[in-house]
Structure 1
């Protein structure tokens, strides 16, 4: 059983003091496969060419980010089943530029933190399918506090809405880990986590797990969608992501990618 189950158990145990968390993948879904960005805006074609959809053989949907010609970065709690269909260059989720099926033998889970790699067949880059750069090693101590970033994914625009398949994006402001920990506690919000403020119901939600958080300044991948408030995506509590700068060594050791 994966580590994220333990994290959720710890969160529930401390619910009297802190808000509990839930992975976006595990929020109760409607009958159709879905992702969600709440109260975001429709993305124009080619806005986020690094964003991929991940349709796992077990029937769930997640997001991911292309970080190299043969690598996608996502969340560990997403990986499972016999494999995954990767949707490349999709603005309308089911109308990708092309897809590749990848077997589970190509999944590399971190096993401690909620982050994973998927080895993919070589893809060539162009305007609709491209990589997003990681932060450089010189940025590894950058907390990105108060900076703005964009998260993208597929799905509805507010709780209970119809669920469009058009790619949605939302601009979010990074907050300090202290502010985030005041809601979820230090057990959840450790040095591997980066959080964003959820205001006016704008944030990530079900199906967005594993998707990208990319800085406005420099267009660097700074987060991988991990968790939100168990009270609801639009409740106003922060959303949490794996902090990519925390994992630069692990990514380099497994992929050879570094800056």
Structure 2
């Protein structure tokens, strides 16, 4: 009996091991300063015009940093909390294939940005909303649907999804001018937790397998991870491991199904 109790305590300790004892995460926000950390789409492919009409480019603080987001309604964009956390304002690029060649743009102030109140430095609850001027939908600018409430307990492990962004195409390149996509497979959260530890990987995290160096961070922070089956946004690009984007290590996203109530309460959008 004592041995069983001891093993149980060891298992609990391992699940909550301090981040310094495992692999630290790196947020994938692009900073316009020396030593910047950049998002990447690695070993992906160029997105044809209109393939991912829901993605938007987000230039915060007059180019201070760059992220991506997803249109989820006529007046709402979904993105990562760490993108918005220090922002004063943002210029939103709609319908762009080349990063700065949008169909149109909107400028939005800090007062129309909502960061999840429980966001923290471990990138838990890494989600934010941006209220925008009204946008009409068409082939190059369109919304992506949220998961339905029926999917709120779906782990998505083994599912295939597409991620998109304007980030690096390899570890040594700069930002990509052209929008890229990559197809990736969702992995089991326990396998991801074994790599990053329980402080970073919670029930509201979703991870992808980056075998072969296929996009360990899936584009810029805040960008979409959209399921092949159903074409719904299941993740928001959040972080990669410190080893970089072609190391074939897990990449972390905010699990959208964990925040359906929070999104609905602020936007009125639900399925």
In 2: Cα distance, 1:83 partner to 1:248 partner:
25
Name the counterpart of 1:103: 109
Q: Count how many residue pairs are aligned between Structure 1 and Structure 2.
A: 248
Q: Secondary structure at the match of 1:246?
A: helix
User: In structure 2, which of residues 55, 59, 83 is the aligned counterpart of residue 78 of structure 1?
Assistant: 83
User: In structure 2, which of residues 91, 100, 110 is the aligned counterpart of residue 94 of structure 1?
Assistant: 100
User: In structure 1, which of residues 18, 43, 47 is the aligned counterpart of residue 47 of structure 2?
Assistant: 43
Matched-pair contact (CA < 8 Å) for 2:17–2:197: no
TM-score (norm 2): 0.86
- Deviation at 1:38? 1.4
User: In structure 2, which of residues 54, 62, 70 is the aligned counterpart of residue 65 of structure 1?
Assistant: 70
Q: Secondary structure at the match of 1:251?
A: helix
- Deviation at 1:33? 11
Q: Structure 1 residues 205, 178: closer, same or farther in 2, change over 3 A? A: closer
Q: Structure 1 residues 164, 26: closer, same or farther in 2, change over 3 A? A: closer
Matched-pair contact (CA < 8 Å) for 1:51–1:89: yes
Q: Secondary structure at the match of 2:195?
A: helix
Q: Structure 1 residues 92, 74: closer, same or farther in 2, change over 3 A? A: same
Q: Structure 1 residues 29, 36: closer, same or farther in 2, change over 3 A? A: farther
TM-score (norm 1): 0.90
Matched-pair contact (CA < 8 Å) for 1:35–1:61: no
Matched-pair contact (CA < 8 Å) for 1:211–1:225: yes
Q: Secondary structure at the match of 1:149?
A: strand
In 1: Cα distance, 2:256 partner to 2:176 partner:
29
Matched-pair contact (CA < 8 Å) for 2:97–2:178: yes
In 2: Cα distance, 1:28 partner to 1:204 partner:
21
Task: Write out aligned runs for 1:2-41 (5 A).
Answer: 14-16=19-21, 18-25=22-29, 35-41=39-45
Between stretches 194-203 and 31-40, larger displacement belongs to: 31-40
Q: Secondary structure at the match of 1:196?
A: strand
Matched-pair contact (CA < 8 Å) for 2:182–2:218: no
Task: Write out aligned runs for 1:216-227 (5 A).
Answer: 216-227=228-239
Q: Tell me which structure has the larger Cα radius of gyration.
A: 2
Question: Gapped runs of 5+ residues in structure 1?
Answer: 1-10
In 1: Cα distance, 2:151 partner to 2:58 partner:
29
In 1: Cα distance, 2:17 partner to 2:66 partner:
25
Task: Write out aligned runs for 1:1-259 (5 A).
Answer: 14-16=19-21, 18-25=22-29, 35-57=39-61, 59-79=64-84, 80-112=86-118, 113-205=125-217, 208-259=220-271
- Deviation at 1:83? 0.3
Q: Secondary structure at the match of 1:234?
A: coil
Question: Gapped runs of 5+ residues in structure 2?
Answer: 1-15, 119-124
